[in-house]
Amino acid sequence: MKITLSQLSFHTGNFADNTAKIIAAIKAAKDNGSELIIFSELATCGYPPRDFLAFDDFIHQATESILQIAENCVGIAAVVGSPRKNTISKGKLLFNSAYFLADGKVAHITDKTLLPNYDIFDEYRYFEPNRNFEIINFKGFKIALTICEDLWNIVENPMYPVSPMDELIKKAPDFIINIAASPYSKTQITARQSVLKSNASFYKLPIFYVNHVGAQTHLIFDGGSCATDASGNIIKELAYFSEDSQSFEIQKSAQLLQIFGSNQNQEAPRNKYQDIENALVLGIKQYFEKLGFKQAILGLSGGVDSALVSYLAVKALGSQHVWAILMPSQYSSDHSISDSLKLVQNLGIKHDVLPIEDTFQSFLETLNPLYKDSPFGLAEENLQSRTRGVLLMGLANKFGHILLNTSNKSELAVGYGTLYGDMCGGLSVIGDLYKTEIYELCEYINRTSEIIPTQILTKAPSAELRPDQKDSDSLPPYEVLDAILHHYIEEENGPAQIIQAGFEPALVQRILRMVNMNEWKRWQAPPVLRLSKKAFGPGRRVPISGKYLS
């Protein structure tokens, strides 16, 4: 049997476009001789639909999409993910389902059993788990159809009391299909490959796996759909970070999985920095496309963060769609301006210079009767940042651009940013990259030629809000800070564990207190493109006014 894996980018709630893409792929696969085509989890509505699922009309449109797709499944079958109403059991009102469409109708429905509600996942809020395990018979094959998390319980300490494949294997399937919406993180690709290999080798069955690709607000889906043989070898991976399709042939006699045109193992080697760059570019690109915007604006300071965001924006949108605004103050160094101008030239982007000193002074004059000639301090520093924020938002509003935020994860963690100032923006591009990771990524970008000026990468980081200011005046070296933050945020280690890892106790307490005391700021930050297993946003839910470690 010839099987096509169709890895597509879907737009949440855009049933017309999603359905049209699925039908077009079905027709192309049929013309190519395929007998079965497989799409990803919740393909009709996009992932994650979140509280759109509470609308009856949303579910009705999903059902209508399935029926329309089914009409095109004559001479070819399709597996399509979609939500459906729960009409068979008590509990939640919906199932997260995989439809098996054949002969112009719905031939079988498999519901998702294991519903994740950790990190960015919140599926148990909406869906009822499956309790009925059946095999699909098609073209002489017995198929075990599963949905994403249903294969992720094959670990030493399983999260769920049941494993769907333990039930399905009793019915002697010939192979496994798994449709997924597995978002990218820096560790997810390796973890996902391990899960697929473990399932294939444990159950001694080939697996056809189809994942989402594209971005939905803060989530980035990297694709990487694949087929494995019954020994757990990945035979062929589809593209990462782009739409793709691939046809396979499975022969029942020896359960031998073969690739049309190739029979070699094609599990591609990964490069961490290339993956991060591709993920961020895809995240920016689809954020703009799905919101209907084309133009980006950002403040260019001469520092590494805004330089990196500028580069990524150009990669995602094209140089003609990126506008950099230089806003020097009386505290800006000469090289901040010259470094920014060199970057602008390297990237070929439009730029303008708006000095803020006069505007800043006018704010001070207005506030002076209430400030009462008090000493220059943090409020005045923040006022410079807010002056820049007002100008950037004014331009974005006037010309219909999206302001890209340039704050990094280190700054967001410890509150080293100004609300309504440098925390303004419609999208936080690098808010899930620590400062040390940003330097590493920039070095990778410059691996063949100097795109980001070397001076930007070698000078000491500074907000330049007072004379001779350096980040190191109030923060430990970023190598130390980022290591402590990683322990606390990603690894969820408490202070005792972090101190035991070799960090100075007073510093650990100070840094962790800064993280906790600035949660209120992060609630007002723009959505952060997720790159780690624990990004700021929906996947990290801590109270604003909690007392822990404060």
Radius of gyration of the chain (CA): 26
Strands 77-85 and 94-102: what pairing?
antiparallel
The gap between the terminal CA atoms of the chain, to the nearest Å, is 61
Is residue 45 flagged as an active site residue?
no
DSSP 244-290: EEEEEEEETTTTEEEETTB-S-B-----HHHHHHHHHHHHHHHHHHH
Among the listed residues 258, 257, 268, 264, the one whose alpha carbon sits nearest the alpha carbon of residue 224: 268
Euclidean distance between CA atoms 258 and 245, whole angstroms = 15
Region for residue 469 given its phi and psi (left: phi exceeds 0; alpha: psi -120 to 50; beta: otherwise): beta
Euclidean distance between CA atoms 305 and 503, whole angstroms = 27
Task: Specify which residues 219 forms β-bridges with.
Answer: 216
Q: Give the SS3 label for residue 237.
A: strand
15-31 vs 56-71: helix crossing angle, rounded to 10: 20
Q: Pick the catalytic residue: 41, 123, 128, 381?
A: 41
Structure tokens at 424: 């303004």
Is residue 226 flagged as an active site residue?
no
- Which residue stretches of 294-373 are H helix? 304-317, 334-347, 357-371
DSSP designation for 310: H
Q: Pick the catalytic residue: 30, 112, 342, 409?
A: 112
Structure tokens at 376: 């220059």
Structure tokens at 271: 């490069």
Q: What are phi and psi of 230, to 5 degrees?
A: -75, -5
How wide is the angle at C-alpha 490 spanned by C-alphas 519 and 516, nearest 5°?
A: 20
> With contact defined as beta carbons under 8 Å apart, do 246 and 4 qualify?
yes
Euclidean distance between CA atoms 232 and 108, whole angstroms = 27
Sorted by sequence, the CB contacts under 8 Å of residue 389 that are 6+ apart come out as 418, 420, 421, 422, 423, 424
Euclidean distance between CA atoms 545 and 511, whole angstroms = 17
> With contact defined as beta carbons under 8 Å apart, do 433 and 185 qualify?
no
Euclidean distance between CA atoms 327 and 357, whole angstroms = 9
Four-residue CA torsion sign, 526, 430, 415, 507? positive
Among the listed residues 476, 501, 477, the one whose alpha carbon sits nearest the alpha carbon of residue 487: 501
Structure tokens at 248: 């396979």
Is residue 148 flagged as an active site residue?
yes
Positions marked catalytic: 41, 112, 148
